[in-house]
A and B are shown apart, each in its own frame.
Chain A
Amino acid sequence: MSAPSLLQRITTQTLEEVAFVFAFPSSDLPCWREALITASLDYAVDGGPTGTLRLACPPSLGALVAANLLGLDEDEEAALAAAPDAVGELLNILMGVYAEERFGSAVACSFTPPTVTTTCARDCELLRASAVDHAVLVTEEGDDIELLVSEG
């Protein structure tokens, strides 16, 4: 199996550190069957590229992340309600780590607050076609996570 990409590595580390969720790199494309939570944010590197980082996952993973962040059970109403917020915050943290790892801590990188929406599999397929970087992970619970970087 090939070494994990930067996106896979930082997502694995961040999920574990922030939300106690264990995920593993996958070489398979996700087979989305339901509406997804998709978070996206735009970034601009001083003297470098501008782009968009996106994260897509099923609502069940968003609820698990929210539950672990808040110390709740993932089936609780509050965890389900906080799922979009949790996915947005996860992307926000990932962006900071991604910028530091890819561009270095000496380079200024600004990014917008995350926007969280509900999307379908077709939206992800379209975005995947234009992405300059792309990563898929699978959690212990069997949920897929897809990350997409588009630039220019």
Chain B
Amino acid sequence: MSYSVLIVDDSPLIRSMVLKSIAMSGLEILASFQAANGLEALEILREQWIDVVFADLNMPEMGGIELVERMSADSLLVSVPVVIVSSVRDEAHIEALKRKGIRAYIKKPFRPESFREVVEVLTRAAEVQR
């Protein structure tokens, strides 16, 4: 299976790192899109088919939490899984994010395999739901 991914981070360096790691993880990428903040991400999500969003938390204009909230309130986007990729590591923050609707969390520094493992879990969960 191949995936269309959207990488959301204000740092071009991190977007490149995440994309490189996804490729290294062995996941087959059909298409990749990049956004510098949540607002740009929403524009892309309304125009492109995206299988999974990898988003940072702290970004200018619109951060990862507001992006998740806006997607949860949009009937067309609510089913698109969002994975937060962040250096915040405390359980209180991660649990709060899960209650807001994120599907998974990848802590920095990350291993490339983390991306494949998370996407495989999300894919299995989606199959069970169907």
Contacts of B108 in A (CB 8 A): 18, 92-93, 96
**Stretch touching chain B among A21-29, A80-88, A117-125, A127-135:** A80-88
Min CB gap B57→A, angstroms: 9
Interface of A is mostly: helix
Instruction: Decide: A105 and B90 in contact? CB cutoff 8 A.
Output: yes
Q: Does A49 contact B (CB under 8 A)?
A: no
| Contact indicator A105/B89 (Cβ below 8 Å) | yes
* B107 close to A96 (CB less than 8 A): yes
Q: Are B90 and A106 in contact (CB under 8 A)?
A: yes
Contact between chains at B87 and A93 (CB < 8 Å): yes
**Given A69-B13, A70-B13, A85-B12, A100-B90 contact (CB < 8 Å):** yes
A-B contact pairs, 25 of them (CB 8 A): A17-B109, A18-B109, A46-B92, A66-B13, A69-B16, A70-B20, A71-B20, A85-B12, A85-B13, A89-B11, A92-B108, A93-B87, A93-B109, A96-B88, A96-B89, A96-B108, A97-B89, A105-B90, A105-B91, A106-B90, A106-B91, A107-B92, A109-B90, A110-B88, A113-B58
Interface residues of A (CB under 8 A from B): 14, 17-18, 46, 66, 69-71, 82, 85-86, 88-89, 92-93, 95-97, 99-100, 103, 105-113
B residues with a Cβ closer than 8 A to A are: 10-14, 16-17, 20, 58-59, 86-93, 107-109
